[in-house]
A and B are shown apart, each in its own frame.
Chain A
Amino acid sequence: MRDHFRMSRRREHSPVVGLAVAVASVAAITAVNYGLRELAPPVSTGVVYLLAVLLVSSYWGLGLGLVTGFLSAAAFNFSHIPPTGEFHVADAGNWVALGVLLIAAGVTSTLAHAARERAEEAEARRREADLTTEMARLLLGGSSMEDSLRAAGRRIAAVFGLESVTVELSWIDSGSREKALPLVVDGDRIGTVMVPKDADPASLEAIRDRVLPALETLVAAARRRAELESQVIETRALRRSDAVQKSLLRAVSHDFRSPLTAITAAVRGLRSGTLSDEARGELTSIAASETERLTRMVENLLDLSRLQAGGAAPRASSCSLEEIVRAAADACPEPDAGFDIAMDDHLPALNCDAAQLERAVANVLENSARFAGDRPVTVRARAAGAWLTLRVSDQGPGIARDELERIFEPFQRSLERPSGGSGLGLAIARGFVEANGGRLRAESVPGKGSTFVFQLPASRDARPDPRVPDRALT
């Protein structure tokens, strides 16, 4: 790593420039010293040359630093030591001065060089740490392992100035232009790092000795994280299906018990010999209506499981919405104030599974009837473009805003108003409507009532024909 960075430094500071700087700075100092020769004793101005030595050895290394030292000594001798103007030393004392200058230049050069080495090493460590951080961010950041490794390869290539570095999750052999370095995690070779064969040996060594171990550790951590994540997801899914099963059990045990209780009481009550005819008729009708209710509950459960298993493929055919609504209203218990059904004439035909749609509408009617109190449930239908809109409204307690969607989830009975429903009807209704290409949503003004809005696709080849009243179909 250190070598690598030193090499890259040399590329930045060419020796030719270094030599030029050495000559220029020595010349400049000589000129300045020449100007100062009247003010300062010549021997003392020799110290100024150390600035040039310091500059050159800091940027171009020990060699050029020493060269600068010799140049300085020569220039000092030529310009300041008598006899000036020639490379000759007359006074033995001046030899000492020259020698001191040379030694000081050598020491300065060495010290500057060492300081530069340390700075470079620190810089190399910093960039190495940056690379590791970057790789950690990539590998632990959450995107796929392949993508992260590809990006990590690009980062390694950029840091070492290589043409390309690729990380593959497979076992690849060295090629003619690339060298393969194995990536080993937890004792298994899980992949290969491909580096250009013509990369400088220092970079190769740095990648193999420093970068790869970090990458391996990170891949191991990323794999463990992925494992844990999948375990968490699995646990969540299990918990969810567990919750559904519990809800199902609760629905079966609680909701089925009410009709069962009424049936058991009625049927066993019928055994009494003292019952009047009227009482006998009452118990019989209770048993009959509750048996029907149980049957509907069982059908709902079967519908739901079919919908959840995706086994409710609609058998579409042209059908009349009005017929579907009338049949659905007949199939469910009427609210106290009845159903108020009014449909536009000339409604276009639907293209859907009439049986499924009837169950959907019946479930919504049954739900609305349960909350209608003593007000009627109104049913309105009209055509708008390619859609038929059916609105089923009650004037019951309404639905809180945050429950408008939740009521369509299985077993989400309203907490504030347990209703005696199975908690399945609306889920099934939406399931069937959507299976037939339609939409079902709820609107409500709490305290004023709720409206269920069906949007159903009109049959394409059954555009409204103004000459034929829709009634003719029924």
Chain B
Amino acid sequence: VSDGRRILVCDDEPQILRALRVILRDAGFEVITAASAEEALDTSAVHPPDAAIVDLVLPDGDGVDVTRSIREWSEMPILVLSAVGEEAEKIRALDAGADDYVTKPFGPGELVARLNAVLRRAAGDRDEPTIVVDELELDLAAHSVALAGRPIHLTPTEYELLRTLIGSRGRLMTHSTLLREVWGPAYEDDTPLLRAHVANLRRKIEPEPSKPRYVTTDPGIGYRFAA
């Protein structure tokens, strides 16, 4: 998947930049680096990368601002690097359009896997009439869902929730993003409502609802549909 893809890495720690350059090159990516928000925006405007990895804390701004600026003109996948305890910042970055986050310190394996996942999501055809993920099949035209060939009855809300999650599969969607897209802006803070519907959805589509395989949880942040 990764051959020749160009990745922008933005971090103010030169040693982290150095390590990521070596690791991503080893994984087959082309790497461009930036040490500040300004440099990241300049570089990505001149040579638009296929994806960006942005540190949340930058000397001249934060990763949220970089994400928001990139989203003004590009749908490229964005991964943010964050630290434990920066939950609020992570959510702000995700709401600003970041696809996922990786918590420091991280291993190269985890980073490359996340990067490939968001790149796959970006490559997916948005207009495909039928989405098939493992045994789950979603027919967007017929508004029907089937698991291992057997039709599943979903309420309209559950269907909308699944469609939203699957439409951005691989991407971590925050509680407020999901609530806004499925229920509307007035419901943005109603996390218990979302939690209840996710539980119902899992009971219907997950082979083992207690160990979800399709809809996974990022505690305190949101849900994602496994890519």
Binding site for B on A (CB under 8 A): 253-254, 257-266, 268-269, 272, 274-275, 279, 282-283, 286, 289-290, 417-418, 420
**Pair B108/A269 contact, Cβ less than 8 Å:** yes
Give the shortest distance, in Å, between A158 (CB) and chain B (any CB). 65
Contact with A along B43-83 (1 / 0, CB 8 A): 00000000000000101000000000000000000000101
User: Knowing that A258-B15, A269-B22 are A-B contacts, what are 9 other residue pairs whose CB atoms are under 8 Å apart, sorted by A's residue number?
Assistant: A253-B84, A254-B83, A257-B105, A260-B105, A261-B81, A262-B13, A264-B107, A269-B108, A282-B18
CB-CB nearest in chain B for A274: B26
| A257 touching B26 in the complex, CB below 8 Å, given contacts A262-B16, A265-B107 | no
Pick the contact of A289: B12, B15, B22, B106 (CB < 8 A): B15
Which of B22, B85, B104 contacts A261, CB < 8 Å?
Answer: B104
| B186 interfacial by beta-carbon distance below 8 Å | no
Quick one: which of A253, A259, A279, A420 contacts B22, CB cutoff 8 A?
A279
Given contacts A272-B108, A275-B26, contact A265 B83 (CB under 8 A): no
Determine if A257 and B104 form an interchain contact, defined as CB atoms under 8 angstroms apart: yes
Interface residue B121 (Cβ < 8 Å from any Cβ of A): no
List A contacts of B108 (CB < 8 A).
265, 268-269, 272
Q: How far is B223's CA from A468's CA once the two chains are assembled, in angstroms?
A: 76
Q: Is the CB of B59 within 8 A of A262?
A: no
Interface centre among A254, A260, A269 (most CB of B within 10 A): A269
Chain A CB count within 10 A is highest, among B12, B18, B20, B111, for B18
A420 and B19: CB pair below 8 A?
A: no
Contact in complex: A265, B105 (CB < 8 Å):
yes
Assess whether B192 is interfacial by the CB under 8 Å rule. no
Does B156 touch A at the CB level, under 8 Å?
Answer: no
Chain B residues near A (Cβ < 8 Å): 12-13, 15-16, 18-20, 22-23, 25-26, 57, 59, 81, 83-85, 104-109, 111
Instruction: Count chain B CB atoms within 10 A of each CB in A254, A261, A268, A417 and give the residue with the most.
Output: A261
Q: Which of A253, A259, A268, A272 contacts B85 (CB 8 A)?
A: A253
> What is the CB-to-nearest-CB distance from B115 to chain A, in angstroms, rounded to a whole number?
13
Q: Is B26 a contact of A420 with CB atoms below 8 Å?
A: no
Contact of A420 among B12, B81, B111 (CB under 8 A): B12
| B22 CB contacts on chain A under 8 angstroms | 266, 269, 275, 279, 282-283, 286
Query: A274 contacts which chain B residues (CB < 8 A)?
Result: 26
B83 proximity list for chain A (CB < 8 A): 253-254, 257
Chain A residues within an 8 Å CB radius of B13: 258, 261-262, 420
Decide if A265 touches B20 in the complex (CB within 8 Å). yes
Which A residues lie within 8 Å of B85 (CB)? Answer: 253
Q: Which residue of B lies closest to A272 (CB)?
A: B26
In chain A, what residue has the closest Cβ to B21? A282
What is the chain A residue whose CB lies nearest that of B57? A418
Q: How far apart are the CA atoms of A258 and B59 in the complex, in Å?
A: 14
**Contact yes or no, A279 B25, CB < 8 A:** yes
Whole-angstrom distance between the alpha carbons of A286 and B18 in the complex? 8
Give the most central of B15, B23, B26: most A CB within 10 Å.
B15
CB pair A268–B107 under 8 Å, yes or no, is yes
Interface centre among B12, B25, B104, by most chain A C-beta atoms within 10 angstroms, is: B104
- Are A418 and B59 also in contact (CB < 8 A) when A257-B104, A269-B26, A274-B26 are? yes
Inter-chain CA distance A279–B105, complex, in Å, is 20
Assembly CA distance A274 to B23 (angstroms): 10
> Hey, which chain B residues are within 8 Å of A257, CB to CB?
83, 104-105
Other-chain contact of A269, B12, B19, B59, B105 (Cβ < 8 Å)? B19
Complexed CA–CA distance, A420 and B57 (Å): 11
> Shortest CB–CB separation between residue A336 and chain B, in angstroms?
11
Docked complex Cα distance between A437 and B12 (Å): 38
19 A–B contacts, CB within 8 A, in A order: A253-B84, A253-B85, A257-B104, A258-B13, A258-B15, A261-B104, A261-B105, A262-B13, A265-B20, A265-B105, A265-B111, A268-B107, A269-B23, A275-B22, A279-B25, A282-B22, A283-B23, A418-B57, A420-B13
Most buried by A among B13, B19, B107: B19
Closest 5 pairs between A and B when the two form their complex, measured CB to CB: A264-B105, A268-B107, A261-B105, A262-B15, A265-B19
Chain A, Cβ-Cβ closest to B23: A269
Q: Which residue in B19, B84, B109, B111 is a CB contact (below 8 Å) of A262? A: B19
When distances are taken between beta carbons in the complex, the residues of chain B under 8 Å from A254 are 83
Instruction: Output the least CB separation between B173 and chain A (Å).
Output: 26
**Nearest Cβ in chain A — how far from B148, in angstroms?**
37
Q: Is the CB of A258 within 8 A of B26?
A: no
Bound complex: CA A264 to CA B13 (Å): 14
Residue of B nearest to A250 (CB): B85
Q: Nearest chain-B residue to A258 (Cβ)?
A: B13
**C-alpha spacing A409/B111, complex, angstroms:** 37
Nearest B residue to A289, CB-CB: B15
Determine which of B12, B23, B57, B59 lies in contact with A265 in the assembled complex, contact meaning CB atoms within 8 Å. Answer: B23
Query: Is B19 in contact with A286, judged by CB distance below 8 angstroms?
Result: yes
Tell me the bound Cα distance from A420 to B81 in angstroms: 16
Question: B80 → chain A, closest Cβ, in Å?
Answer: 14
A262→B55 CA distance, assembly (Å): 13
**A259 to B105 Cα, complex, angstroms:** 9
**Given that A253-B85, A264-B106, A279-B25 are contacting pairs, would A286 and B15 also be in contact in the complex, using a CB cutoff of 8 Å?**
yes
Residue of B nearest to A267 (CB): B107
The residue from A263, A283, A417 contacting B105, defined by CB atoms under 8 A apart: A263
Question: Which residues of B sit under 8 angstroms from A260, Cβ to Cβ?
Answer: 104-105
**What chain A residues lie within 8 Å of B12 (beta carbons)?**
418, 420
Q: How far is the CA of A130 from the CA of B130 in the complex (A)?
A: 94
B84–A258 contact, CB under 8 A?
no
Distance of A14 Cα from B106 Cα, bound (Å): 102
